[in-house]
Amino acid sequence: MANTVQLPIRPLLWLLHATSVFAAGVSHSARANSADTLKDCLLNAVSGNIAEVKLSSDAGFQTDHVRPHNLNFPWAPFAITYPTEASEVAKIVTCASKNDRRVQARGGGHDYTNKCEYLKKIYGRSRLSGTGLGAGDGAVVIDVKNLNQVQVSSEGIATVGAGNRLKDVCEKLHANGKRCMPHGSSPTVGIGGHATVGGLGLHSRLLGTSIDVMTGAEVVLANGTIVKASEKEYSDLFWAIRGAGASFGIVTSFDFQTNREPDNVVNFSYTVSSTSPANLSAAFKAYHRITTERNLDRRLSSVAVISKDTLLISGAFFGSKSDYAGLDFGSQIPGVTNRTLKNDFTWMGHMNATFKSISDLFPAQSYFYAKDTAVTYSTLPSNSTIDAVFEHLQTAKSGTDTWFVLIDLYGGAPNDAAAGAMSYPHRDLAYFFALYARSGSETTSTIHDFVEKAVLTYQDNKPENFLSYAGYTNLRIKGSPQKKYWGANLSRLEGIKAAVDPEDVFSTPQGVKPRA
């Protein structure tokens, strides 16, 4: 077995096989031949345009092309390709699967874990220097950045190339008739990874998630076919890609129903600064009671950020100054030390400010650990649980000074779709509670423990009652991460996976695996 160049693509077999190849220390020339065959195939797929195929042996491959978002997880793909049209994507997928390689799409490259788990397991270390590995060990990455068109039809349906980043989507929709759609607040997140996993942002309470407004998608399948998926055609696939897209195909373009931009945006913030955990908690409890009312005005959105000695509550209201005045809850929050109010943002002015504040929070590359929990209206924490979490956050050893909890308020439109309408499982969602901790080098067990204890405390020590967002991948999830990400929808996903990608070509460590 060690002498064959046929690497079975099924992850377990692949893992065993690669381990034995490595241990035996043979077949270097066989693997070199396989690498050459694949390289030729990839170059043919893009009509010989070398700018579209970057190999691990190329100078600057790691620094200019791999660029992991989370430095905890260095990543060593075989090649990163930059196709310019769907037909090239299809040919690249076929090259990879014929050569028994895994394939990964890349949009904005903001995945939390860079999907490197297999390499870590195989080589038993987390740093890959590239020495001694040969060029044939990694996956083929299809970076879709060149698929970056945005067109808006007269019915307001936007066809959005999967390579656009959120800032591009926002700006291009604005330029195409002052349109907008719901999505997150990070300018550099890619719509490719975002709109295949959920896609929630400040205007989600009003308009829903990115997947809620998706009306169709062009998808390259594992067998190299290009299909148009919608409620009418390939409806199972369409159901799957709205929540678990990375395991099912490569979306080359999305169709989204857009909306008119809001005419006016009010922006508010309330800061509570205190060294007393009880004072911070008192403010948060008041905020929590108000904002988890099911009938809270959908035009009001909000984010709370908890950090050391600070609670920062901010938000946007998509309506007029006078409509906002009646909803302003600031006077009900005890201990506010600073407040700001801007009544008359334009849509783009507001988005610019929001994008900037998120860029300031998250560097392009860093060492970090993040863990989240979805909180539904039936799993809201009690006041004493909130007190316990603030006590932990403010007093426990954190292992880093750079940590914060983001509480992104949802409810409203994201809960309008029926529970099983798409594979994304978070209906009846109140908010996500997500703790993020960054450090100057690989994150330590002190940091992991600090983060995990906070989330577990927030869950009242009953993690089995909570799901996590598949957009915040976490390799430390115990048990079945797939169950955490997709809940009751996992079983149907596994069936669809067996039908469209039985060999697990689109393979990720925590992705949906085909039902046996």
Ligand X SMILES: *[C@@H]1O[C@H](CO)[C@@H](O)[C@H](O)[C@H]1NC(C)=O
Ligand Y SMILES: Cc1cc2nc3c(=O)[nH]c(=O)nc-3n(C[C@H](O)[C@H](O)[C@H](O)COP(=O)(O)OP(=O)(O)OC[C@H]3O[C@@H](n4cnc5c(N)ncnc54)[C@H](O)[C@@H]3O)c2cc1C
* First-to-last C-alpha distance (Å) of the chain: 23
d(CA 422, CA 243): 7
Please tell me whether residue 499 binds ligand X under the rule CB under 6 A: yes
* Alpha helix ranges (H) inside 148-187: 166-175
- Residue 395 beta carbon to ligand Y: minimum distance, rounded to whole angstroms: 27
Q: Please, are residues 432 and 410 in contact by the beta-carbon 8 Å criterion? A: yes
251 touches, from ligand X, ligand Y, none (C-beta below 5 to 8 Å by class) = ligand Y
Cα torsion 181, 184, 190, 194: sign: negative
Q: Residue from 87, 274, 307, 402 that binds ligand X (CB under 6 A)?
A: 274
Residue whose entry in the numeric block shows the structure tokens 């809201």: 380
- Among 279, 292, 310, 444, the residue binding ligand X under the rule CB under 6 A is 279
Q: What x/- string results for residues 392 through 431 when contact with ligand X is judged by CB under 6 A?
A: ---------------------------xx----x------
Site for ligand X (CB under 6 A): which residue of 8, 156, 335, 495?
335
Q: State in angstroms the smallest separation of the CB of 502 from ligand X.
A: 9
| Whole-angstrom Cα Rg for the chain | 23
- Cα 404 to Cα 120, 311, 384: the distances in Å are 28, 10, 21
* From the list ligand Y, ligand X, none, partner contacted by residue 315 (C-beta under 5 to 8 A by kind): ligand X
Catalogue the E-assigned strands of 377-425: 402-409
By beta-carbon proximity to ligand Y, the closer residue of 128 and 374 is 374
User: Which tokens belong to 276?
Assistant: 């007393």
Query: Which tokens sit at 4?
Result: 């064959």
Near ligand X in 358-387, by CB under 6 A: 383
Q: Which does 499 bind (CB under 5 to 8 A by kind): ligand Y, ligand X, none?
A: ligand X
DSSP state of 66: I
Complex with ligand X: residue 71 or 272, whichever CB lies closer: 272
Residue 134: name its binding partner from ligand Y, ligand X, none (Cβ under 5 to 8 Å by kind): none
Beta strands in 230-363 (DSSP E): 250-257, 259-260, 265-273, 300-307, 310-317, 338-345
For residue 341, the cross-strand partners are 268
List 65, 106, 285, 484, residue binding ligand X (CB under 6 A): 285
Cα atoms in the Cβ-side hemisphere of radius 13 Å centred on 338: 8
User: Smallest Cα–Cα separation from 143: which of 192, 94, 196, 70?
Assistant: 192
Q: State which of positions 123-142 bind ligand X (CB under 6 A).
A: none
Token readout for 502 is 């039985």
Residues 6 or more apart whose CB falls under 8 angstroms from that of 145 comprise 82, 107, 163
Q: Which does 12 bind (CB under 5 to 8 A by kind): ligand X, ligand Y, none?
A: none
Tokens 């829903």, residue located = 208
Q: How far is the CB of 313 from ligand Y (least distance, A)?
A: 17
What span, in angstroms and rounded, lies between the C-alpha atoms of 165 and 250? 16
Q: Among 487, 496, 506, 511, which residue interacts with ligand X (rule: CB under 6 A)? A: 487
Cβ-based burial of 444 (10 A; exposed 0-12, middle 13-18, buried ≥19): middle
Q: By three-state DSSP, how is residue 38 classified?
A: helix
- Told to check if 166 binds ligand X by CB under 6 A, we report no
Among 159, 343, 352, 402, binds ligand X (CB under 6 A): 352
Of positions 353, 361, 456, 477, contacts ligand X by CB under 6 A: 353
d(C-alpha 272, C-alpha 311), whole Å: 5
Strands 140-143 vs 79-81: parallel, antiparallel or unpaired: parallel
199 vs 463, which CB is nearer to ligand Y?
199
Residue 192 binding: pick among ligand X, ligand Y, none (C-beta 5-8 Å cut-off by kind): ligand Y
Looking at the DSSP bridge assignments, the partners of residue 160 are 150, 254
- Judged by beta carbon, residue 152 or residue 166, the one nearer ligand Y is 166
**Smallest separation, CB 299 to ligand X (Å):** 13
Site string for ligand X, 313-332 (x = CB under 6 A): -xxx----------------
41 to 100, contacts with ligand X by CB under 6 A?
Answer: none
Shortest Cβ 428–ligand X spacing (Å) = 8
Cβ closer to ligand X: 314 or 439?
314
Could you say whether residue 230 binds ligand X (CB under 6 A)?
A: no
Q: Which residue is nearest to ligand Y (CB)?
A: 193
Give contact residues for ligand Y (rule: CB under 6 A): 104-111, 115, 144, 162, 184-186, 189-190, 192-194, 196-201, 245-246, 250-251, 362, 471, 508
Give residue 188's identity as a one-letter amino acid code.
T
Tell me the one-letter amino acid at 382: S
Residues at the contact surface with ligand X, assessed by CB under 6 A = 202, 221, 223, 225, 267, 269, 271, 274-276, 279, 285-286, 289, 303, 314-316, 335, 338, 340, 346, 348-350, 352-354, 357, 383, 419-420, 425, 487-489, 492, 499-500
